[in-house]
Structure 1
Amino acid sequence: KMTASAQQLALASEASSVKTPYLVLGIIITVIAIIFAFLKLPEIVEDENPDQKVSNDNAFVRAFKHTHLNWAIAAQFFYVGAQVCVFSFFILYATEAAGIDRQTAAWYAGFGVGLAFMLGRFVGTFLMKFYKPSNLLAIYSIASILLCMVAMTVSGILAVYTVIGIAFFMSIMFPTIFSLGIKDLGSDTKFGSSLIIMSIVGGAVLPPVMGYIADVATIQIGYIVPLVCFAVVFVFGIYGHKISDKSLNKF
């Protein structure tokens, strides 16, 4: 059993091991924020049709009549939940499944996962020139599901690269779900957008579920949570994004 001083030393060592990658990420985010602060972005002015104006009282009800918006809200909820699960539990997963130390795991988290996520976004954006966003979303979701299955069964350094692969394939999901969800909403676009943004609460709801599974079983079994999440995103990509005739009607 470790003494109190030894426990404090171990905790300090663990905190120090993740300091550098998160410091680098913080600096990058700060630089990006400063750049956007000085950019003069054009103001978006929406052409309003008087016949399509709605009151705040029935905007909520009207928005939910768009079936593809409902699917987008659900898909975004589960996607953000999956993303937070993968990112938050990466170090724990890497140390248990791959048997590497926390400092090495932190390096993979800061640079391996971050780089894969960035590259996936650029590659995905390029591929959208040749594939429909919904089809690419479905393909990326299937790839993420398969990698989750692998992550639940393999060990060693392959396990680490498997999760890095998940980061690559989930990179395009947030903006793609958002854009498909607000398509053809008309006067309900602003309210629909806010509903999709609010669905990021999934990032707070689902990680505790994965954490509970990791406690009662293993962190690898816990990857059933992001697997299910990506399955929901897949359904949205092949079916849920479609705009129904009811959504196109004025109600």
Structure 2
Amino acid sequence: MTSSSTVNPPVQAAQTSGNYTFALTSLTTLFFMWGFITCLNDILIPHLKAVFDLTYTQAMLIQFCFFGAYFICSIPSGSLVKKIGYQKGIVAGLIVAAIGCLGFYPAAAMHSYPVFLLALFILASGITLLQVSANPYVTLLGKSETASSRLTLTQAFNSFGTTIAPYFGAYLILDNVASSMATAAEKAASVQMPYVMLATSLLVLAAIFAWLKLPKIEKHNETSEAISGSALQYSHLVFGALGIFVYVGAEVAIGSFMVNFFGEANIAGLEEAEAAKYLGYYWGGAMVGRFIGAAVMQKIAAGKVLAFNALMACLLILVTVMSSGELAMWAILLVGLFNSIMFPTIFSLALNGLGPHTAQGSGILCLAIVGGAIVPLLQGMLADSIGIQLSFVLPIICYAYICYYGLKGSKPAQANV
């Protein structure tokens, strides 16, 4: 799962002479945790759909609440971090996320889907604050020339978290209620202990980060000069924001429907617990693809690589829609490999040439992550009306737009002054 942050407070890079290995090692645990927690939603969706007998549209409210928190909380989180600093922001984010995890206990006890959604929103609000604090902090711990490599390395741990989370969820949540004799209350209760364990881990991390002596990052003085114009005057930034919207939406939607899709009789007929384990291939493919893509883009223009990956995603999903059995199953799993470079590539292409409007442009792109809330909900509506397999035409449209963006829409244009 992609990680990002909103507009960050003006900062000054840390002194490059220091040794930040310990600080960076500590921060990698955060990237792992939020990747892990975010990917567990793909387990929660089929599980709570069965527990509460939900339609696909209702089940997708899980992603709507989770990614909606990014949209609502990103800017307030940025303002808070500006006031209290990165380290305290990390601690606060961990505590809020832990409170959200603990909310799963009363939600299961009350057998209330709305309370589950509220707990998810609180959890995602904490993750948002955590990302707003940790992402820029990693880029500032060391030399500016190696900032991208540091962030790529820590985000690899984010991908590692998304890769192993399905196995954890399948074992601790779905396997425990595999019996058809389990009551709805017992199925709902199966999420209590896993999320209490997550809350405990987050609180332990909060205590550790409150105790650690991490390097201080000094803030720049605010500039008194007003920047004229707006980032929205750049067409490639506007098109890029839509690209982020549809990319995150498509990536999240595919992961959200996969367990139910693999349970279809004409696809694999898998039980939820078994189907969930295949999710690791989808997210693991994204992790592997990042390393391949980074090497390829040393030789080939980023826009062309983006367009190629988007085209391959379109073709694979088309195979999924038009076939059945293992061919359809593995085709949709392979989309993860081609997702790998999309988010950072769209992000960087959209910010190219923005100059003093770069910070504003970054904020606009981060707000576009709300696509993870909207697109899965729309696909849920499609699945309820035309079936889960045909509903994958929506991600095809999303990737087709990304292909256009890579070839044409990403070309920098002068601002329309």
TM-score by length of 1: 0.78
1:222 aligns with 2:394: no
Give the C-alpha shift of residue 15 in structure 1: 8.6
- Aligned pair in 2 of structure 1 residues 209, 119: CA closer, same or farther (>3 Å)? same
- Aligned pair in 2 of structure 1 residues 195, 236: CA closer, same or farther (>3 Å)? same
Please name the residue that 2:226 is paired with: 54
Please name the residue that 1:105 is paired with: 275
Could you tell me which runs of 5 or more consecutive residues in structure 2 were left unpaired when the two chains were aligned: 1-178
Please name the residue that 1:126 is paired with: 295
Query: What code does the residue aligned with 1:237 have?
Result: G
1:195 aligns with 2:364: yes
Please name the residue that 2:350 is paired with: 181
Please name the residue that 1:164 is paired with: 333
- The answer on whether the counterparts of 1:54 and 1:187 sit within 8 Å (CA) in structure 2 is no
- Aligned pair in 2 of structure 1 residues 189, 219: CA closer, same or farther (>3 Å)? same
Quote the Cα distance in structure 2 between the aligned partners of 1:9 and 1:221. 32
- Aligned pair in 2 of structure 1 residues 66, 86: CA closer, same or farther (>3 Å)? same
Give the C-alpha shift of residue 130 in structure 1: 1.2
Give the C-alpha shift of residue 155 in structure 1: 1.4
Could you tell me which runs of 5 or more consecutive residues in structure 1 were left unpaired when the two chains were aligned: none
Please name the residue that 1:150 is paired with: 319
Query: What code does the residue aligned with 1:69 have?
Result: L
- Map Cα deviations across residues 82-132 of structure 1 (whole Å, 9 max, x no partner): 0110111110111113222211111001x2112111111111111111111
- Aligned pair in 2 of structure 1 residues 38, 84: CA closer, same or farther (>3 Å)? farther
Consecutive aligned runs of 4 or more in structure 1 exceeding 3 Å deviation: 5-17, 37-46
2:253 to 75, 85, 90: 85
- Calculate percent identity across the aligned residue pairs: 32
Query: What code does the residue aligned with 2:240 have?
Result: A
Quote the Cα distance in structure 1 between the aligned partners of 2:410 and 2:213. 35
Quote the Cα distance in structure 2 between the aligned partners of 1:42 and 1:169. 36
Quote the Cα distance in structure 2 between the aligned partners of 1:225 and 1:15. 34
- Map Cα deviations across residues 192-238 of structure 1 (whole Å, 9 max, x no partner): 00000000111111111111111112111010111000011111100
- Aligned pair in 2 of structure 1 residues 129, 90: CA closer, same or farther (>3 Å)? same
Give the C-alpha shift of residue 14 in structure 1: 9.4
Of structures 1 and 2, the one scoring higher in RCO (CA 8 A, sep 6+) is 1
1:69 aligns with 2:237: yes
- Judge which range, 8-17 or 95-104, deviates more: 8-17
Give the C-alpha shift of residue 134 in structure 1: 0.6
Quote the Cα distance in structure 2 between the aligned partners of 1:8 and 1:188. 56
- The answer on whether the counterparts of 1:134 and 1:238 sit within 8 Å (CA) in structure 2 is yes
- Aligned pair in 2 of structure 1 residues 65, 165: CA closer, same or farther (>3 Å)? same
Please name the residue that 1:232 is paired with: 401
Give the C-alpha shift of residue 42 in structure 1: 7.7
Please name the residue that 1:138 is paired with: 307
Q: In angstroms, what is the RMSD of aligned CA positions?
A: 3.3
Count of aligned pairs between the two proteins? 225
Quote the Cα distance in structure 1 between the aligned partners of 2:182 and 2:366. 40
- The answer on whether the counterparts of 1:98 and 1:159 sit within 8 Å (CA) in structure 2 is no
- The answer on whether the counterparts of 1:124 and 1:172 sit within 8 Å (CA) in structure 2 is yes
- Judge which range, 135-144 or 145-154, deviates more: 145-154
TM-score by length of 2: 0.48
